[in-house]
Amino acid sequence: MREIIFDTETTGLSAQNGDRLVEIGCVELINRVETGRVFHAYFNPERSMPSEAQAVHGLSDAFLSDKPLFADQVEGLLEFLEDSPLVAHNAQFDFSFLNHELGQCGRPIVLPTRMIDTLAIARTRHPGAKHSLDALCTRYGIDRSHRVLHGALLDAQLLSQLYVELTGGRQIGLMLAAEESVTVSVESRTTIMVARVARPARPHAASEEEIRRHTDFINRLTDPLWSEGLAAG
């Protein structure tokens, strides 16, 4: 089963009030295993970046000024997404911006039936707990030490690990058969997933010193139980 984990960065909180998408990061999963295929793009929002938003993701007007418009990248994005389910944290937010940009380009919106919201899953599994991406990564032991600012691709990669944990853990997708590995081919990218294989037993021969000490110990025993069996034989 193919799924796409994605995250966005924006100029603000409301696409309906004029905020725009400035970054998207997508990670491909096949049977809950990352294939290595990603889609990542920055977009020129054609408006200024509020200081509050820049403080979150660090994307400035100067940085985005030479980036392509969303319309210039939409073909590549849609080709990557295909018709796969789309997984996001607080998915309503990301879907609203994605669909607003698609509408601006005259493209069909992504239907809500394709939406999987990890925030909703986390609230069901851990009621009353903190459900931010940071808090959930801490709960599940996912390393986020390299996350200083929000970034769409980085957050999507963290979310892909979290999604696997929320939906069954790391055992999902592992091959439990006897084969040593399985190759998952996706277009021109190939990922090798290696399953654990039982190692042959290592030799544990006793040294001469250990044998001598064992013999001395046996010789010091008085009436050992096995002597009766030897006498009967």
Q: 117 labelled as ligand-binding? A: no
Please check if 57 is assigned to a binding site. yes
DSSP E strands, 53-151 = 86-88, 115-117
CA distance linking residue 213 with residue 195, whole number of Å: 42
The answer on whether 61 is annotated among ligand-binding residues is no
Out of 100, 150, 204, 214, the active site residue is 150
Task: Let me know if 150 is a catalytic residue.
Answer: yes
Query: Does the annotation flag 7 for ligand binding?
Result: yes
Q: Which of 62, 55, 68 shows the shortest CA–CA distance to 23?
A: 68
56 φ/ψ sector (left φ>0, alpha ψ -120 to 50, else beta): alpha
Report d(CA 105, CA 98) in Å as an integer.
11
Contact at 8 Å (CB) between 107 and 78? yes
Rounded Cα–Cα distance for residues 17 and 103 (Å) = 15
Q: Is 9 annotated as a binding residue?
A: yes
Read out DSSP for 15-63?
GGGT--EEEEEEEEEETTEEEEEEEEEE---SSPPPHHHHHHH---HHH
Residue ranges of the binding site for substrate: 7, 9, 52, 57, 155
Catalytic residues: 150
Residue ranges of the binding site: 7, 9, 52, 57, 155
Residue ranges of the binding site for a divalent metal cation: 7, 9, 155
